[in-house]
Structure 1
């Protein structure tokens, strides 16, 4: 057992000194990690502190590797926070390891707007590593300021997976665990939460199966999307990804490992789905599967009138026989739109398509797919023709292509590779995702598209409806109350040094204007991937469900250890 008493943690960290009295003669070894297989380890963070420590080492203790516990270590961690004092007692068996150097990746995310370094990063080998770490922080009690955040593939937008002065858990360290596909009448796959959806797709396809519901981008972790919702063009039929989960394994804010489902520990199951990491860290999930198609017919058509566009979308998501994927885009003042499409799509009428001009116009693109196998091509073409005959798009703008199922689902990654090659991927992404009630979508469109939003050259703007009946109100996710609501997603990238329309501050101001408009017009909008800075805003976001949210927090993470980057609950700290 190692006892470290009354350690003072200071925000500006430069050195660590350890004064220790070792009762059993052992040797120390410096190294970049704390926590190696089979070793009792001390959760020691590179800090400026004076430890009055008494170390009692077990007889089978061979060596203690403590990087940063030596005087004047060369690498320091910038910390953000206040002075904290705590009684510190821990003893952990870890198969994984802590890293104290080279953790800059844990202070970055896709949004690229917030950068807070943690004190340490845990690279777990087993779920028990995560449980032991959280349990240790829990046992430290409210006297400790340590918090813990789970990080997947780093696709958060506003620092939600960061832990200033805390511990970040690198969930991708668990991705090497085996995925288990189960066939049968109700097929499913058991996966570690750090696994990427693209890898799950490839594994399931070996059995002719695939998950039912997706996100547009598949290089995200299971735990990350299930902690939010996971939504794409299949959601109108299957619901979001959180509606397609049979079972979860969760580590709560007390360090307890709990298996939960609709039948067992149901409250925790529903709490963590869409729970923004507030009630537990998802470590494993059982995902519903369906037979996978081989091919996809991918279709795009344009509208000049939003009312007609929305009417056709709502018709398609309500029809019994319809497309398999339905999304839409807003296009404002886009030059050469049709010519850009020709690189991947074929116009139904090339001559008419040549005459279409998009410059200076606000247009609405309906994007559709129909899944099929090669021996079903003739039947599928007839079904598509019948469905399109019910729509009122601009005839000259019908474009169609045929791709493999994998190529369609992984389409955003193909765009990512192009952007990375131009240095345009790791830019700030001031995204704004909104859920707009059906009854208010026309007011929203009139006030935002072509008015506040004067062009879409900095990134796509998605708009498409989903059926509320496919969402489970028992989860932590909140939606508008109407039977149909729209996802409207503004997905720009910013040039940090620019003061023009592509500059970060300009794009953030556009987001603010949109939110102010929604509030002033009383549209009843909810944020998806929400970002708020005060608890009053969070209370308003959850509305009548706030009380349940708080009760669940008290039950599963009463010290507010988990997911500090969401800025919902602040960890209470007792000063000794």
Structure 2
């Protein structure tokens, strides 16, 4: 890592006085560091290079940087980068400084850094105080040591807590628990003035609700207090196929309306004749099932996969099959096109990881991954299906990646 001494002559956007700060030895202008920190998952926005990269060892390092910038007559841009999973360069900082949040994880024994700490409170129940730099997979592993786990997830766990809370954190559990931002008791946030502020819905609430889903524009999350619940040990994982979108969406809506002893995860996927049946998100269908599905797809051209999960453990292992049977009774999926798996809780939550590793081994993970999330109201979903799924994606053969359909309720968002 190089010292910042050569920064000022070629990039006057950051004053030479920054060298007098304690963080100067943690700032890098190395071309490799700058290039790597300027990449994101989407790879749509490129060549937005910072002047330097900060590798903080504690929260105070970030505070010092932001205070220094704020006190200037013309502040420079500071952006926090977690796992770099943004899609439009949100974690880039042209001529500014990128803060590599993962660096905090290398100094977790520092008392200023949170890591993952599980606690209990008579009012809150179990919760975890989690550093904003922590990956959700590490949060899962740490909380499982206590038989606990967060209740709301994203499909991919190798993302930082601060990163998903700055967006929303949506997956198939959203209909039941809300997105990840709905399962946070409080946070520590570094504001644009360089102030470390603790906030919750009752304390500094404007900052709290601004930061949650605020795309990193209202502050940097350094700690989040996450809701925990008893963790299951296994899951019943089922996929059912449809050739009628109306039946598919109605069954989704029915399933998320079951509040007592209902499902824990409901999601949906478009399946196209030209797309891979077992994509990078998970390898689910056996070779014989793939042949059967491909034959149906050649006739229908487009089908719809309803994916559901029911958690269980030793206490209800003997009744879980009957519970699941009742939940799917009356659904309008195609006869003979229900497929089941029984896997561990961790295996299900971390299902995308194996696909990622396979793509990495083939050099296909480090390519552009544009992504678009849309909330479509129930009143427009059939029109959206006809105009987008059929007229654009199917007829123009536009699909090259997964197309997901999450059912949810306004009450949970």
TM-score (ref. length: structure 1): 0.65
**Structure 1 pair 434/89, CA: closer, same or farther in 2 (3 Å)?**
same
Residue of structure 2 aligned with 1:113, choices 44, 61, 70: 44
Q: Does residue 267 of structure 1 match 2:206?
A: yes
Q: Does residue 444 of structure 1 match 2:376?
A: no
- Write the deviation string for residues 237-284 of structure 1: whole angstroms up to 9, x where unpaired: 100000000110000001111111122111111110111111111111
Aligned to 2:91: 161
Q: Which structure has more strand as a fraction of its residues?
A: 1
Aligned to 1:317: 256
Mapped contact 1:193–1:284 kept (Cα < 8 A):
yes
| Structure 1 position 374, deviation (Å) | 3.7
Which runs of structure 2 are paired with 1:82-481 in the superposition (5 Å)? 91-94=20-23, 97-101=26-30, 102-103=32-33, 104-115=35-46, 116-142=48-74, 144=75, 146-176=76-106, 177=108, 178-183=115-120, 186-320=125-259, 321-334=261-274, 337=277, 344-345=284-285, 353=292, 356-359=295-298, 361-454=301-394, 455=397, 458-471=400-413
Q: Helix, strand or coil for the counterpart of 1:400?
A: strand
| Structure 1 position 433, deviation (Å) | 1.5
Q: Which structure has more helix as a fraction of its residues?
A: 2
Mapped contact 2:56–2:104 kept (Cα < 8 A):
yes
- Write the deviation string for residues 293-339 of structure 1: whole angstroms up to 9, x where unpaired: 00011100011111111101011111123210000011122468499
For the residues of structure 1 that align with 2:228 and 2:49, how far apart are their CA atoms?
Answer: 38
For the residues of structure 1 that align with 2:200 and 2:306, how far apart are their CA atoms?
Answer: 37
- Write the deviation string for residues 140-194 of structure 1: whole angstroms up to 9, x where unpaired: 123x4x1100000111111110001110000111224332111456110011100
**Structure 1 pair 85/270, CA: closer, same or farther in 2 (3 Å)?**
closer
Mapped contact 2:175–2:412 kept (Cα < 8 A):
yes
Unmatched tracts of structure 1, length 5 or more: 1-30, 35-43, 50-78, 472-576
| Structure 1 position 414, deviation (Å) | 1.1
Mapped contact 2:281–2:351 kept (Cα < 8 A):
no
| Structure 1 position 345, deviation (Å) | 4.5
Unmatched tracts of structure 2, length 5 or more: 109-114
Aligned to 1:488: none
Which runs of structure 2 are paired with 1:527-566 in the superposition (5 Å)? none
**Structure 1 pair 368/258, CA: closer, same or farther in 2 (3 Å)?**
same
Structure number with larger C-alpha Rg: 1
For the residues of structure 1 that align with 2:224 and 2:383, how far apart are their CA atoms?
Answer: 40
Q: Helix, strand or coil for the counterpart of 1:416?
A: helix
For the residues of structure 1 that align with 2:183 and 2:131, how far apart are their CA atoms?
Answer: 16
Mapped contact 1:96–1:124 kept (Cα < 8 A):
no
- Write the deviation string for residues 472-503 of structure 1: whole angstroms up to 9, x where unpaired: xxxxxxxxxxxxxxxxxxxxxxxxxxxxxxxx
Mapped contact 2:281–2:352 kept (Cα < 8 A):
no
Aligned to 1:32: 2
For the residues of structure 2 that align with 1:335 and 1:179, how far apart are their CA atoms?
Answer: 39
For the residues of structure 1 that align with 2:323 and 2:291, how far apart are their CA atoms?
Answer: 24
For the residues of structure 2 that align with 1:242 and 1:174, how far apart are their CA atoms?
Answer: 22
The farther-off stretch of 148-157 and 359-368 is 359-368
**Structure 1 pair 325/45, CA: closer, same or farther in 2 (3 Å)?**
farther
For the residues of structure 1 that align with 2:294 and 2:42, how far apart are their CA atoms?
Answer: 39
Mapped contact 2:8–2:15 kept (Cα < 8 A):
no
